[in-house]
């Protein structure tokens, strides 16, 4: 019996050894990390492919609130922003913004420049002789002055009636204040000389609100800049870009 069992045991051991090696070879022949037919694992997705990217919003003009921004016409691509130090202050800062690419939005083009405004500050309901500058967004369509056209892009009316004399609130001379002006379209008809006195809202609401040359003191209601800044504006404001002025004290503009 012992003689017969030895070949049988040797055969079984040899069979198990061969079967075990072939099974191991089958397991290692598959690529490392590959799933079998029964695997339900989903293919890996890069995190960036499933993460939504927030759209980049066009830049807005700093300091302007939603009500003020809503008043800027969609076609406007130039904005002269005049920000008063306070509602009762006659000092302000001016920055010219441009919007050449709607996808990029508003970008500063020049400034800030120091300026004067109405003697008593600002008003959202300007009246004649209240010595305050009107708050709001207004078109800039017409220019002029006592001196010859310095290269203005807006229609320019050179006229001796722009000559002015006398003294300002602090005794400073007013000579040369209207050498260069840009009419602010508050209570006026656009497309005519700044000298035109038509007042659509009535005389009691005032008028003749201009950007003009600074005389070193507050104004009756206009915004005044140094002469070199006025000539720069005249050579930059382009009617094809529908320029506007956004003006008021900082608190009012932030609404």
How wide is the angle at C-alpha 183 spanned by C-alphas 182 and 184, nearest 5°?
115
CA dist 68 to 72, 86, 205, 230, 245, Å? 7, 17, 21, 25, 11
The answer to whether 92 touches 107, Cβ cutoff 8 Å, is: no
Partners of 96 in beta bridges:
80, 110
Of the candidates 116, 126, 215, 222, the residue annotated as catalytic is: 222
Say whether the peptide bond before residue 41 is cis (omega within 30 degrees of 0). no
Q: Minimal CA–CA distance to 95: which of 255, 253, 252, 247? A: 247
d(CA 31, CA 213): 82
Q: Is 174 exposed, middle or buried (0-12, 13-18, 19+ CB in 10 A)?
A: middle
Q: Exposure string (b/e) for 128-145, b if CB count within 10 Å is 16 or more? A: eebbbbbbbbbbbbbbbb
Tell me, yes or no, if 222 is annotated catalytic. yes
Of the candidates 116, 126, 212, 215, the residue annotated as catalytic is: 212
Tokens, residue 5: 């069992």
What is the dihedral sign for C-alpha 28, 32, 33, 34?
A: negative
Question: What residues are labeled active site?
Answer: 212, 222
């Amino acid at each position: 019996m012992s003689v017969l069992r030895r070949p049988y045991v040797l055969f079984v051991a040899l069979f198990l050894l061969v079967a075990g090696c072939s099974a191991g070879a089958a397991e290692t022949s598959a690529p490392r990390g590959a799933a079998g037919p029964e695997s339900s694992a989903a293919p890996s997705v890069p995190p960036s492919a499933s993460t939504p990217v927030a759209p980049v919003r066009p830049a807005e003009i700093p300091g302007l609130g939603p009500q003020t921004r809503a008043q800027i016409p969609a076609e406007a691509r130039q904005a002269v922003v005049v920000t008063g130090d306070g509602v009762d202050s006659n000092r302000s800062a001016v920055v010219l913004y441009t919007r050449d690419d709607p996808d990029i939005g508003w970008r500063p083009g020049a400034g800030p420049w120091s300026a004067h405004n109405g003697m008593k500050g600002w008003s959202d309901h300007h009246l004649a002789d209240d010595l305050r500058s009107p708050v709001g967004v207004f078109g800039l369509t017409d220019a002029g002055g006592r001196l010859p056209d310095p290269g203005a892009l807006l229609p320019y009316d050179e006229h001796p009636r722009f000559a002015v004399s006398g003294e300002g609130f602090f005794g400073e001379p007013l000579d040369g204040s209207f050498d260069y002006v840009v009419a602010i379209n508050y209570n006026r008809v656009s497309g005519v000389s700044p000298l035109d006195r038509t007042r659509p809202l009535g005389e009691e609401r005032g008028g003749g609100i201009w950007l003009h040359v600074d005389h070193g003191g507050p104004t009756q209601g206009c915004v005044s800049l140094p002469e070199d800044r006025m000539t720069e504006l005249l050579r930059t404001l382009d009617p094809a870009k529908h320029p506007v002025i956004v003006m008021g004290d900082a608190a009012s503009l932030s609404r």
